Structure 1
């Protein structure tokens, strides 16, 4: 079986390739593509792909944008972190999917389904349209900027520049990538609702951390985790044992 992987996260694509080979050693990975542009260029030419694994979010946009320019004749298995509502739509559109992080047993079942049902069938235009409609409905507007007090003035603080937020003696503070600290007027609960949950995660009652600020994770006692961030936090950031699995799943998205 000849497979193409469309995935912009190197660790995710390598993990998928490893699991595929572990399930069926004869699988050949023809290409790993990390963007809409690269995928369009690849599938515009003659290729031998028999099955495509495709992430929804790529480096330069949604993977569905690929189908605005070309048709892919091979069947597609989407890899997604979307919720149950979205997964039902995938089923209704007769497209298989795998929920991240990818489970080897579920992947094996998808391969069997491909062999028995989807082999030789490409993606239909109405299926793509249905999924695009779903994605657009699911979109939520999140905060991109806050006004914060700084000395005798108020300045705009972009959320993309916030490394993490934390509570100190009842006051919420934001630490930026450049290690600048600002006092926030909002409480941590409101900030959690304001911020994109694919980018920011509520580690515990005290911290919300941006994904890109996490530089490492350590095992701690009793199944807990310690999250190391940059700039360094003056307090230890601990993920409870009960929340550690959810946190690792979030990091794997």
Structure 2
């Protein structure tokens, strides 16, 4: 079997080679690549690689970026130290991965799976793009403070203190956990984009709520939900039937 290793840490690379040869001395490592640039250069030309081991973090970027430039016509097994949330995404997309530090038994199992499922283990570029978007979103710097007007001055308003945002007669307002209300000089769509989706959720066209502000979720007619918050809002906060399942999943995550 001819293998390519895409890895920028020499120690990790040497360890992988050692483990591969411990499992099967006939495995041939045909090249080592330590960057996105070198990988693009290699895979853009004819090659005889049968399997690729690829680290996610390389010297000049994320390895998923390689798939934006070239098609890798060989199965890829990622080596990663990412958290469980990202690993679930790998499983959902049927992408193979090995968690660092690499275990010999798990490596052997991955090689066995490769041998038995060769025709099914070629990942598409669209899958890689999806994973790249996911990693980028996880690394995104979300907004933590808004400058808001209060009488004749500007004050910093921490997003962690905001219970929900809503539209009131065309004007966006932020309501804090202590029931203070502030006018926002931005659209609700822009606010949604700037907030950490782990903490805030847009339940409908009028409301974005913070997870910690939710006190009770009530069933409503036609599969809809009513969300009660603290502080209480005078208007019903309704989650549509189309969003109800996703919202419950978000609250339960």
Contact kept? 2:5, 2:54, Cα under 8 Å:
yes
Alpha-carbon deviations, 1:184-242, whole Å to 9, x = none?
xxxxxxxxxxxxxxxxxxxxxxxxxxxxxxxxxxxxxxxxxxxxxxxxxxxxxxxxxxx
Aligned twin of 2:51: 51
Contact kept? 1:73, 1:120, Cα under 8 Å:
no
Aligned twin of 2:123: 123
In 2, Cα distance between the equivalents of 1:19 and 1:119? 24
Aligned twin of 1:27: 27
Aligned twin of 1:64: 64
1:82-231 matches, within 5 Å, as: 82-119=82-119, 121-141=121-141
Question: Shift in Å at residue 75 of structure 1?
Answer: 0.3
In 2, Cα distance between the equivalents of 1:103 and 1:44? 31
User: Could you tell me the TM-score, scaled by structure 1's length?
Assistant: 0.54
In 2, Cα distance between the equivalents of 1:95 and 1:129? 12
Question: Shift in Å at residue 120 of structure 1?
Answer: 6.8
Question: Shift in Å at residue 138 of structure 1?
Answer: 1.5
**Stretches of 4+ aligned residues off by more than 6 angstroms:** none
Aligned-CA RMSD value:
1.5
Alpha-carbon deviations, 1:12-68, whole Å to 9, x = none?
001001100100111000001000110011111111100000000001111111111
Alpha-carbon deviations, 1:97-129, whole Å to 9, x = none?
000000000000110111112447422022112
Contact kept? 1:3, 1:30, Cα under 8 Å:
yes
Any unmatched runs of 5+ in structure 2? Answer: 143-253
Contact kept? 2:53, 2:77, Cα under 8 Å:
yes
Contact kept? 1:74, 1:120, Cα under 8 Å:
no
Aligned twin of 2:9: 9
State the number of aligned residues: 142
Secondary structure of 1:102's aligned partner: coil
In 1, Cα distance between the equivalents of 2:108 and 2:131? 24
Secondary structure of 2:38's aligned partner: helix
In 2, Cα distance between the equivalents of 1:131 and 1:118? 22
Contact kept? 2:56, 2:64, Cα under 8 Å:
yes
Question: Shift in Å at residue 94 of structure 1?
Answer: 1.0
Considering only CA atoms, is the larger Rg found in Structure 1 or Structure 2?
A: 2
